[in-house]
Amino acid sequence: YSRSSQGVVKEYILSRKHKAILEYCIQPRTLEEIAAHMHVSDKYYLKRKHIDSILGTDLLMTEPDTPTSPTQQYVTRMITEDR
């Protein structure tokens, strides 16, 4: 769910690709690893089209202070009851 500026709660639906990325990133993975797993040759397209849309809500960076780090990895956010 997401909350708009008007306070309306909207449910968002994850695509199959988003779900596949989240399942694969249970363990931290680099952008290169995710692209290879998803059979996508352009890792930057993958990031713009699929990763950026779930980043911060369902997917986290292992190095949030340096988002363009060559060692950056992505990991699925674990849902807890206090979220």
As given in the structure block, the two tokens for residue 15 are 């695509």
Residue type, 51: I
pTM for this prediction? 0.78
Q: Which backbone phi and psi does 52 adopt, to 5 degrees? A: -60, -30
> What percentage of the chain has pLDDT greater than the value 70?
78
Please give the C-alpha separations between residue 25 and each of 7, 19, 34, 73, in angstroms, as whole numbers.
Answer: 31, 10, 8, 9
User: Residue 83: is its pLDDT beyond 70?
Assistant: no
Of the candidates 57, 32, 58, 55, the residue with the CA atom closest to the CA atom of residue 43: 32
pLDDT in tens, 43-80: 999 999 999 999 999 999 999 999 999 999 999 998 65
In the predicted model, what is the mean pLDDT of residues 2-28? Answer: 74
pLDDT of res. 12? 58
